[in-house]
Amino acid sequence: MVRRFSMPVVIAVIVLTIVRVGDAAPSAPAGARPTTGAMSLRRLTHAADAIVTARVTAASAQVDAGGIGYPVVHVEVLSAVKGAGTPGPLAFVNVGAGAVGYVDGEEVLLFLQHLDRVAELAATPLHGRLRYVVIPNAGEKLVLTPWAKRPLTNAVSRYVAVDTIPDPELRGEAIRSLTLDLLKSGEPVLIATVMRDFEPGGDAAALTLADLPAMVPLIESPRTPIGTRIALVAELERRGLVFGPARWVRLLRTSKGSDLVAVIRAVGDHPSAGVTGQLLPLLRDRDPAIVEATASSLGVPGNVDAVRPLAAALAQEDWTLRLTILRSLSRIGTQSARQTLELIAARHPDPELRARAETEAIILARRHGTTLAAMLGGGAEAVQPN
């Protein structure tokens, strides 16, 4: 069964273009390569010995080598983007923890490595029989739909060209320029892969202050997917190129609906007084998703200004929201937050909520290595943290 998915970092993508495969992926024999997170186009291009566009002709073949059956995929190469590949039939080994399931007839972009570069395969009888093994890339494959083929192949071709630049400084400048072009392309799949290069282990050239004029329109345009806008603000803030608090407040002010929910969830990792001030009125919003996301994001250690508004929001009868508020009060962790939890545990009319509040109060007390005061008005004994 093939499962379609959307990319990480809440970036909207063309789900028919990038497919993560689960149950249909072929089993990997012992010694197959493990995979971690999916790589970007830049890193895939650099790692591949050959890159081709191809149409799958036999998705579920197998080759016996030394008594072990290895899954092999047969394709018809349509064009070579990198390496010595030429149009015509090609077979490659398809193994690894992230191996995907291909479908007969689909057109795909393949990143291939010479089989002898993979020690576990080079030492098997496969060596000399097949030339390539596909890079599993954490269970992700690139399906070349009509609207995605040209942007993807053009981007990879440009990465291939960048890799041929011998001077490191010129190569770095070319990567930076290409990064900006892809971010401004408006193609969700290209934007998503560029954002992967900003993650730990990515190798995109650092954005600089000189790049801000190109970045600001992307951040502020409602036509840019909200996940991209969030990721750009986070990255530029991390690099010290923008004043994050003001940017997060602006995103909160200008976003609506599901975009606003995404921003609210993101700002929980980027707290500031301005962000808290913008969030607090949203606790009274008519949209339950906005209220719940707000209650969660206000749960920042030391956020004393949110304690009373969160307690007041308990008047709403949504059970999920109430539990979120209790957890946020516990994360805030100040004396006033602890006292509020104890008061809820002692006096709230809902007995189940009282029990949950007492649990959170005990957790908070243990975190600080203190005792839990007698429940106000409840006459309970102090609880000693273990």
| pLDDT at 24 > cutoff 60 | no
Q: Tens of pLDDT along 270-297?
A: 999 999 999 999 999 999 999 999 999 9
Q: Sign of the CA dihedral 132, 137, 141, 147?
A: negative
Residue 384, pLDDT score: 36
Q: For residue 81, how far is the Cα from the chain centroid?
A: 28
pLDDT at 18: 45
Which of 202, 22, 47, 24 lies closest to 118, judged by CA? 47
Q: Among candidates 315, 368, 306, which has minimal Cα distance to 337?
A: 306
The answer on pLDDT for 212 being more than 90 is: no
The Cα diameter of the chain in Å comes to 82
Taking a C-beta distance cutoff of 8 angstroms, is the pair 340, 329 a contact? yes
For the chain, what percent of residues have pLDDT higher than 70?
84
User: What per-residue confidence (pLDDT) applies to 196?
Assistant: 85
What was the pLDDT predicted at 385?
35
Residue 21 has pLDDT above 70, yes or no: no
| pLDDT for 28 beyond 60 | no
Q: Residues of the chain with pLDDT > 90: what percent?
A: 53
Which pLDDT value is given to residue 191? 85
pLDDT for position 3: 31
The helix (H) or strand (E) run that includes residue 77 is strand 68-82
Q: How far apart are CA 159 and CA 44, in angstroms?
A: 10
The per-residue pLDDT for 14 is 29
Q: What pLDDT shows up at residue 204?
A: 57
Q: Where are the alpha helices (DSSP H) in 164-211?
A: 168-183, 188-196
Nearest of 13, 18, 308, 45 to residue 171 by alpha carbon: 45
How would residue 156 be classed by pLDDT, with cut points 50, 70 and 90? very high
- By mean pLDDT, which of 154-168, 227-241, 338-352 is the weakest? 227-241
pLDDT tens digits, one per residue of 99-139: 889 999 999 999 999 998 988 888 888 877 899 999 998 88
What is the reported pLDDT for 173? 87
| pLDDT of 168 over the 90 cut | no
Residue 230 has pLDDT above 90, yes or no: yes
Q: Which contacts of 290-293 are long-range, i.e. CB under 8 A and separated by 24 or more positions?
A: 290/260, 290/261, 290/264, 291/316, 291/318, 291/321, 292/318, 292/320, 292/321, 292/324, 293/261, 293/264, 293/265
SS3 string, 258-276, reads HHHHHHHHHHCCCCCHHHH
The pLDDT tens digits for 75-90 are 999 999 998 767 899 9
Whether residue 34 has pLDDT greater than 60: no
Q: For residue 347, what are its two tokens?
A: 């006096």
What's residue 120's pLDDT? 83
**Each residue of 359-381: pLDDT tens digit?**
999 888 888 776 655 444 443 33
